[in-house]
Structure formats: structure tokens, C-alpha cells
Amino acid sequence: MRNNIKFTKMHGLGNDFVVLDETEYNKVKNDIVNFVKKICTPHFGVGADGLIAINTNVDKNIADIGWHFYNNDGTTAQMCGNGMRCFAKYIVDNKILGDKKSFRVLTKAGVIVPKVLENGKVEVNMGIPILEPSKIPFLANSNLNVEVEIWSKKFILNAVSMGNPHCVVFLPDNSNDNPKTLATDYGPDIEKHELFPEKTNVEFIKVISPNEITLDVWERGCGITLACGTGACASVVAGILLGKLNNDVLVHLPGGDLNINWQGSKDKTDFPVIMTGDASYSFNGVFI
């Protein structure tokens, strides 16, 4: 299946990925699900939340480059914000598109436009959020304020898609619950709840102020991770629509911080979400 596969390990706020260039990906693509599971498994492999591979075989009228993105269980995902920042930095640093610092990336969620800034951070135009329940998909009449009960505990669900489905849960102001504990204990059941026919990522949010939140996430196909870029975007959008947040928000995740800006409102939602944050290298290696 494999023969000395060269890879780069990267992370966005601790959300970590194995990155393959196109040549290495072509060596394993015929058995990619098994390869992803093996290389992403801790202790037996490299260990990662997912795998990203470069795809240059795209219509250049639509995008400059594309990617293949896999969760660590071998399933594909439409989008990943932290992964996109890592991907963009890899493309720029390796001059795969020459001297371009901003470019169009074809994903299963459509075309995403990242930009590597002079300070090394990566700004990503994540596109316009999807709020219509049937398109998220979310089997409810509204995407906001839907109450469910799981193991005798009630939750208010807010569904937003950033190309991949998210369920955002805001903790009440007087709550003593720990968001990470909630993500661990209830994330798996909400992920697979019947309201989400394609499963969902789950975010638990504590509002510090209208411009600052903390976020803990259970990611679809991954479990607990240190950060989720699309989750941060979806959470800010939901918070703005609910009147809890302003348009520019600092999001504290276990792995670090993201800045999320959305100029939308409940009356006008067709604005793109702009995410800015770090992308870092861990090491290069060979998987034998």
C-alpha cells in the first residue's frame, strides 16, 4: 500500500494534520481510507486529527488549486478552517503557486479564499454561512432555539453550516457546567442526533462579553479536538443572530485564539465570515 511516504505535520491551534504533496498522495490514494486511519492513529502512527493532500487537477477557471481532506477515521469532510490555514501556509511556503499569497481553493464546500499575511497569520474568507435548515441539513422548522433532551438534560440547539454542519450550544449565564465536560459527555449523542441526518460538529460556548467567547468542540468524525475553525465561525454567526455577540469576536479555544468577523445580522445574512489565526509546522517525516 505504501512505500516511504514523505509527509509534513502541521497544526492550527493544536488541531493537527498530516499534509501530503500530490506525488505522495498518488502513492496511497487507491487505499486512502486505510492509510489515513493508520497514519493518523496515535502511538501506532503519526497521530493527527486529519489528513490533507494537494490536488492540482482542478478547473483553473474555478479555482487555483484544490485539496483532499480526510478526518482521522478515513471519512471526508466538506471543510476545515484550521486545516485550510495550514494548507494555505504550506502552499505559500513551498511556492506551489509561485509567489501568490492569496488564492482560490476548491473544497467540497465550494471555493474558499485564504490569504497568508505578512505577520504569518492566515486570513480565510470562509464564505457565506448556510442557515436554511434543509441545506445544513437540520430536520427542524428553524435553525435557532430548538430544544432537545439528552439523558434527562435539556439543550438549546442552534444549527449553522459553514460548508459542514455545526450545532452551537450556548451555556446559560448562570451555568456551572464545564463546556469541555459537556462536549465529552454529550457531544457524541448530539453528533448523531436524528435532527442531523449527516451528523454534526458540536460546539459548547461560554460568552465572556459580546466580543469574546470560549469554545469547546466535539468534531464529527474526530471527537474532542483542541480547535475547530469552522466551529468558531458557526458559533459567532449563531451568537450574532441570537443577539449575544457583536460582529467582531475573539474566540478562545483550548489550542489558542481565533479572530472571527461577520458583518451579517438577522435581517441581512449574505456576508462572508472572515477567520484569522495561526498555522504552524510540527515536523517533516517519512512513514515507512
Q: Which helix (H) or strand (E) holds 166?
A: strand 165-170
The grid coordinates listed for 172 are 446559560
CB half-sphere exposure, 153, CA atoms < 13 A: 13
Q: State how far the Cα of 143 lies from the Cα of 132, in Å rounded to an integer.
A: 7
The grid coordinates listed for 190 are 448530539
Return the CATH fold of 5-125+280-287. Diaminopimelate Epimerase; Chain A, domain 1 (3.10.310)
Domains 5-125+280-287 and 133-271 share a fold: yes
Query: What are the boundaries of each domain within the chain?
Result: 5-125+280-287, 133-271
The grid coordinates listed for 165 are 454542519
Residue 251 identity (one-letter amino acid): V
The grid coordinates listed for 254 are 483550548
CA 32, 194, 110 angle in degrees (round to 5)? 45
The grid coordinates listed for 10 are 502541521
Cβ-in-10-Å burial (0-12, 13-18, 19+) of 42 comes to: exposed
Strand partners, 107: 110
pLDDT in tens, the chain (288 residues): 557 999 999 999 999 999 999 999 999 999 999 999 999 999 999 999 999 999 999 999 999 999 999 999 999 988 999 999 999 999 999 999 999 999 999 999 999 999 999 999 999 999 999 999 999 999 999 999 999 999 999 999 999 999 999 999 999 998 999 999 999 999 999 999 999 999 999 999 999 999 999 999 999 988 999 999 999 999 999 999 999 999 999 999 999 999 999 999 999 999 999 999 999 999 999 999
Residue 197 identity (one-letter amino acid): P
The grid coordinates listed for 262 are 461577520
Q: Which CATH architecture has domain 133-271?
A: Roll (3.10)
Q: State how far the Cα of 253 lies from the Cα of 256, in Å rounded to an integer.
A: 5
Predicted pLDDT at 181: 97
List the alpha helices (DSSP H) in the chain: 22-28, 32-40, 81-93, 179-191, 229-241
Q: State how far the Cα of 15 lies from the Cα of 216, in Å rounded to an integer.
A: 12
- Active centre residues (catalytic): 80, 228
Predicted pLDDT at 2: 56
